[in-house]
Amino acid sequence: MSQHRYLLREDQIPTNWYNIAADLPVPMPPPLAPDGSPLQPEMMTPIFPMELIMQEVSQDRWISIPDPVREVYALWRPTPLHRAINFEKVLGTNCKIFYKYEGVSPAGSHKPNTSIPQAYYNAQAGVKRLATETGAGQWGSSLSLACQLFGLECKVYMVRVSYDAKPYRRVMIETWGSEVVASPSNDTNAGRTILAANPSSTGSLGIAISEAVEDAATREDTNYALGSVLNHVLLHQTVVGQEAVEQMKMAGASPDVVVGCVGGGSNFAGLAFPFLAEKFAGADIKVIAAEPASCPSLTQGVYGYDFGDTAGMTPLLPMHSLGHSFVPPSIHSGGLRYHGMAPLVSHLVHTGLVEARAYQQRECFAQAVAFGRAEGIIPAPEASHAIRAVVDEVERARQEGVSRNILFNLCGHGNFDMAAYASYLSGEMVDSAYSQDELDRATAELAGMPALPA
């Protein structure tokens, strides 16, 4: 019988997170305070607990995972690594395709890898309540679960377009005990300002972040939690790649290509960073970040300082950005609709260690359906971008007459995205392009930002 899955034991759940900052060949530019001055860790204490702030700025290679976090991880971790034997046959390739499957988590994606420690550290610090944003709802449901497990209240600002299109993600958030409102909402100054200017705003992650940050900054009992972008969030996701390193050894295959989809960058980073450590040490690995062509921060954005949110409440982050007021068109991959990109991922692309590719949603869904029919798992629309990039790499290997080991992150299942699949299967789905005028307007605002250090 062919080997389909490579499984680790519960005691093989990683005991440390891997902090890539310790190994970067070129140091990353620092974040700045909103006014452009150097950002001090204590400036973040109104919205984050000190443990997470210290992780955000840490240069230690390994950061210990607390036992209570590993206990909760054990509800679904270690996750399986699959060989996509049936999909290989459909593609007619002699490449070996592997995928790390994070859809086995309770929320159906990689997001609980960081929601669990974030809720834990906040609970340890005596915080009573968390506020957050969510796009497609994967992050909001994951934080809702984490807060339930650690006894915290939670309020989720959900991007309006997903709030309306994905009512069942909302119910999942509520089933796990959190409050959820559509963003922009009337509950914050940031939301009210947006609604005053555009009452029919479909929202964006940037707007929802502004609302959640304001909620946290203005309530004594409340902190903020972010589902991607920041260093400590990517750090927590490295359990994914660390497990995959072990599982690829079990499979007797070194990956030649590692692929993840990117919105804020966290699932990509989770899989890729431990393999980038091997690349830094000399391994010949190509690492690819696949983004949506309708929100192409890495391939069309500007690399420089920008706000993480629309209202300009966050620190200035060194990243690829389409401009913090950029509103991307509606696509089904709600989790990839972010104007910026994680500073760590941006830095790796900027320094040539990671390649970026952009894909339209219909070509992604075509591969998602083919994959789902072959492998039995219907992918989240976000993950379909990674599959599309894998198919590109298979074709490249064919043209070059070589066989490669290709590993990608199947970061979630599509059980809550059936409306998107219905749209694709019926032929109604269109590829939604961003407006060049909108992009020019939003990126023009970046001209006034502080320059990156030389």
CB of 100 to a copy of itself, least distance (A): 15
Q: Return the HEC string of 201-262.
A: CCCCHHHHHHHHHHHHHHCCCEEECCCCCCHHHHHHHHHHHHHHHHHHHHCCCCCCEEEEEC
Give the C-alpha separation, 351 to 262, whole Å: 17
CB of 424 to a copy of itself, least distance (A): 9
Mode of pairing for the β-strands spanning 96-101 and 81-83? antiparallel
- Taking the least distance from each CB to a copy of itself, the nearer of 278 and 363 is 363
Give the C-alpha separation, 108 to 410, whole Å: 11
- Taking the least distance from each CB to a copy of itself, the nearer of 418 and 433 is 418
CB of 380 to a copy of itself, least distance (A): 12
- Taking the least distance from each CB to a copy of itself, the nearer of 265 and 414 is 414
Residues paired with 224 in a beta bridge? 131
Give the C-alpha separation, 338 to 317, whole Å: 14
- Taking the least distance from each CB to a copy of itself, the nearer of 54 and 374 is 374
- Asked if 309 and 346 count as a contact pair (C-beta separation under 8 A), the reply is no
CB of 21 to a copy of itself, least distance (A): 28
Half-sphere exposure of 228 (CA within 13 A, CB side): 34
- Taking the least distance from each CB to a copy of itself, the nearer of 67 and 437 is 67
CB of 173 to a copy of itself, least distance (A): 10
CB of 8 to a copy of itself, least distance (A): 9
Residues that bind a copy of itself (CB under 8 A): 1-5, 7, 9-11, 67, 70-72, 74-76, 82, 86, 104, 106, 108, 112, 145, 148-149, 167-168, 171-172, 174-177, 369, 372-373, 375-378, 415-416, 418-419, 421-422, 425
Angle between the N-to-C axes of helices 266-280 and 343-350, in degrees from 0 to 180, rounded to the nearest 10: 50
CB of 135 to a copy of itself, least distance (A): 18
- Taking the least distance from each CB to a copy of itself, the nearer of 9 and 35 is 9
Give the C-alpha separation, 40 to 60, whole Å: 18
Q: Each residue of 442-453: b (16+ CB within 10 Å) or e?
A: bbebbeebeeee
CB of 85 to a copy of itself, least distance (A): 8
CB of 438 to a copy of itself, least distance (A): 32
Give the C-alpha separation, 208 to 361, whole Å: 23
Q: Among 78, 138, 75, 76, which residue's Cα sits nearest to residue 414?
A: 138
- Taking the least distance from each CB to a copy of itself, the nearer of 100 and 339 is 100
How many H helices and E strands in the chain? 17, 15
CB of 419 to a copy of itself, least distance (A): 7
Helical H segments across 11-84, by residue range: 50-57, 67-73
- Taking the least distance from each CB to a copy of itself, the nearer of 102 and 211 is 102
- Taking the least distance from each CB to a copy of itself, the nearer of 32 and 369 is 369
- 72's CB contacts (< 8 A; 6+ apart) are 116, 120, 146, 149
- Asked if 134 and 140 count as a contact pair (C-beta separation under 8 A), the reply is yes
Q: Which helix (H) or strand (E) holds 222?
A: strand 222-224
- Taking the least distance from each CB to a copy of itself, the nearer of 175 and 198 is 175
- Taking the least distance from each CB to a copy of itself, the nearer of 11 and 437 is 11
Give the C-alpha separation, 391 to 389, whole Å: 5
CB of 132 to a copy of itself, least distance (A): 18
Q: Among 61, 169, 164, which residue's Cα sits nearest to residue 412?
A: 169
